[in-house]
Amino acid sequence: MVGIVVVAHSYPLAQAAVGLAREMAPGDEVAIAVAAGLDETTLGTDATQIQAAIESVAGPAGVLVLMDLGSAVLSAELALELLDPEVREQVLLCPAPLVEGLVVAVVAAAGGAALAEVAAEATGALAGKQEHLAGPAPAAGEQRAEEPAVVETFTVTNPHGLHARPAARLVAELRDVAAQVTLRNLTTGAGPVPANSLSRVSTLGALPDHEVEVAASGPEAPTAVERVLALAARGFDDPAPPAPPAGATEPVAEPAAAGPSAAEPAAAEPLTAGSGGPLPASPGIGIGPIWTPEPPPLTLPDRPAGDPASEADRLREAVGQVRRETQEVRDRTARELGEQDAAIFDAHVALLDDAELLDQVREQIEAGAPVERAWAEVLGGLAEQFAALPDPYQRARAADVQAVTEQVLRALLGVASGFVSHDGVLVAADLTPGEVSQLDADLVAGIVLAHGSPTAHSAILARSRRIPMLVAVGAGVLDLPVRTVVALDGQRGELVVDPDPATRERFAGRAREWAEREATARAAAGAPANTRDGVTIEVAANLGTVTDAAEAAAAGADAAGLVRTEFLFVNRAEPPSVSEQERAYRELAEGLGHRPLTLRTLDVGGDKPVPFLPTGQEANPFLGLRGIRLSLARPEILRDQLVAACRVAHDSPVRLMFPMVATRDEVTAALALLDEAITVVGAGRPAGLEVGIMVEVPAAALRVAAFAPLVDFVSIGTNDLTQYTLAAERGNPSVAALADPLDPAVLRLIDEVCRAAPSSVRVAVCGELAADEVAVPVLVGLGVRELSVVPAAVPMVKQAVRQVDLAAAVPLAARAVTLPSAAEVRTLLAGD
């Protein structure tokens, strides 16, 4: 945990500030030392006193030093010089306001935040007060902005809020509209900001479920507002990014050095995720010599500014050059990887087109700054705003701003990037998405970054390009000499520096084993998945679109174990008609080759709102009106969906599944609506139609015996079951590490479901746990007989089933449920 030192001229002031901070984070978990006054009554600061205070709270997580003013800063800088070098490297002097900064720093440190994150929280501590007090009225005679002619509101539905990509889409949508449009975050009070400025919209801090006001004036104000609302209803056309590998969490920005120095050769012991070491960002094995990008350094020239017009011309030329280069990279990425990955660069293009941002740079030029310095200062300030945002995904977008900053500076200075791929493992402080897109995936064995984030765009591209990657390894990795051999595992989060022959062979063996199993699995994908002792396990696919059905069939899926029918309902102002739903379900059935199709009825609410089904403000939407509860509140929508499903079920095998069930009464009500739908269709109950429920809440898991007479199957949604069992929202980085589906508490609930279900009721698992090959033996051993996974995972999961000996899996599962932690379960299943 990060230690904190308070430096002040007044001892009573410092003690009072510490007392206030302790009230905000009760307990003594955070080590706080005070270096204030020459004694308890005399004002002043003492460098040796500060040195002693730092040493008293120093630890692996580092020390944050907060100061009041003047000589306190000078004394703290002198204290740094007095520290031993290894301690000094872990100390950060923070410019935050003393009282506000201390309060939020203590809260952040108590929550386990890393040094850089604690510093960022402290530095941004004044934001709320500034936002509240920084709005002076226009001076007399000052022209007021035109009053908005049209004002509406919308709710942000994007999983990561209005981050760079949806903001860029918004800016593009309004580019040709003759109106002045502003946005204001009604939830936080932030804004208003101009909607045509990517930099301002992106830093509005609009997160999921936030209410945003859009106001427009001018000739086309109604059109502008209509476009914004339509775009918001479509989620700003923002596809969800590929998920980071299991175990990846938001990293510290400045972790303790994780690698040995050049003077101290490393033993062949892996640094692993979760122990302060690397974070997995892209799966795979990489072994090879280190190489580093060697772009010429960027140094801002110390020169007087030229004629403002000439400086502005240089700015226009440099921005235009970088825009053309970025567009070329985007086009190449679209050709090679698809539009979703290419869209990463839309935010870069929008930044380069941001008129307000460019105006700020020109204002500095007019004030006498050289163009290079003006650009660096304006963009640097924007990057700091991103870095101070509370949402980790939005914070990671600071890297996009820094990438654009550097590209334009290189264009202004005539300094090339010098980025050429080499054979081996790339080690760098961080990488831009453009740099990752330029890598030759056939040459680069892996990527190791000192900083970075699993949610950064560079990591997203690395996963798409199948390049193994570790992030947040620590600054020490940058000290490793070029050509030093390293081995990395991008799935487990392991890094070994200078591995001995045995370690190299172990990593190489993993790579060979993975490649061989993958080839074998693909070759046998169409065959049944039978355990060694002859028990058949159905391996089905989770589908989210019609396109997924064909991919699942090609991958060898035995059925569709989960069809997320929400794809028909989201991003639209009214529900789909019965005919539209019927067409879509028929296309799914045909794409799947008429294998059994498990249609989950509409599962929205909570984290998945739709515009035409407002649920109102809920203190905790995850525990509110969602899933089957919302469908029963709007029975006409559920009835239409069941009618469409029954029509298809007369021609293809269909299974119906109700989500988020907690009580028997909910199932009874849903079955009554199904009877009505069968009557509407008028051809009797379809032959082979099966009905089941999702087990996602502990209450359902504990009363399966009560549901059994009503259903043909139950499907355990381990994603929600895990978060509800452990009270740990899987999307919250502060508690995401708790949400491990192999926690024995979750396994006990799965065990209870399997024991309570009679032989006539099939038990399936359709959460992410089903695709974890390590978990397959324990799930089969507990009694699960169907695993539903993403289409790409079907061959490997089938192959994992074929390695299971049920006679051994049953006692293994029984042992797993008795262990005290998920970590020990994973150790047991890994055979370590």
Residues classed as catalytic = 457, 766
In this structure, the number of other CB atoms found within 10 A of the CB of residue 317 comes to: 12
Residue 605's φ and ψ, nearest 5 degrees, are: 95, 170
Instruction: For residue 774, give Cα distances in angstroms to 416, 491, 801.
Output: 46, 13, 10
Bridge partner list, 285:
489
Q: How many CA atoms, within 13 angstroms, populate the side-chain half-sphere of residue 615?
A: 23
Which tokens is 12 given? Answer: 């009573």
Say whether the peptide bond before residue 192 is cis (omega within 30 degrees of 0). Answer: yes
Going by their DSSP bridges, the two strands 485-489 and 469-471 should be labelled as unpaired
Q: Using only C-alpha atoms, what is the Rg of the chain? A: 29
CA distance 654 to 129: 57
Q: Which residues contact 341 (CB under 8 A, 6 or more apart)?
A: 333, 334, 460, 461, 464
d(CA 79, CA 235): 51
List 181's β-bridge partners, or say none: 216
Residues 159-169 as b/e (b if ≥16 CB within 10 A, e otherwise) read bbbbbbbbbbb
Pairing outcome for strands 469-471 and 279-282: antiparallel
d(CA 52, CA 35): 8
Beta bridge partners of 788: 540
Residue 93 phi/psi, 5-degree rounding, is -85, 125
**Pair of tokens at residue 6:** 């308070």
For residue 767, give both structure tokens: 């959460």
Lateral strand order in the sheet of 180-185:
150-155, 211-217, 180-185, 193-194
Degrees (nearest 5) of the Cα angle 152, 157, 163?
A: 95
**Cα gap 62→336, rounded to integer Å:** 43
Task: Say how far apart CA 219 and CA 47 lie, in whole Å.
Answer: 63
Contacts 24+ apart (CB under 8 A), 38-47: 39/11, 40/11, 40/12, 41/11, 43/9, 43/10, 44/9, 44/71, 45/7, 45/8, 45/9, 45/71, 45/72, 45/75, 45/76, 46/75, 47/75, 47/76, 47/78, 47/79, 47/82
Q: What residue type is assigned to position 768 of the chain? A: E
Chain-centroid distance, C-alpha 498: 32
CA distances from 57 to 7, 65, 76, 90, 535 (A): 14, 11, 15, 11, 58
**CA neighbor of 428 nearest in space, from 442, 446, 416:** 446
| 353/345 Cα distance (integer angstroms) | 13
DSSP string for residues in 198-264: HHHHHTT---TT-EEEEEEESTTHHHHHHHHHHHHHTGGG-PPPPPPPTT--PPPSSPPP-S--TTS
Distances (CA, A) of 793 to 92, 292, 562, 772: 45, 34, 14, 9
Tokens found for residue 385: 């705003």
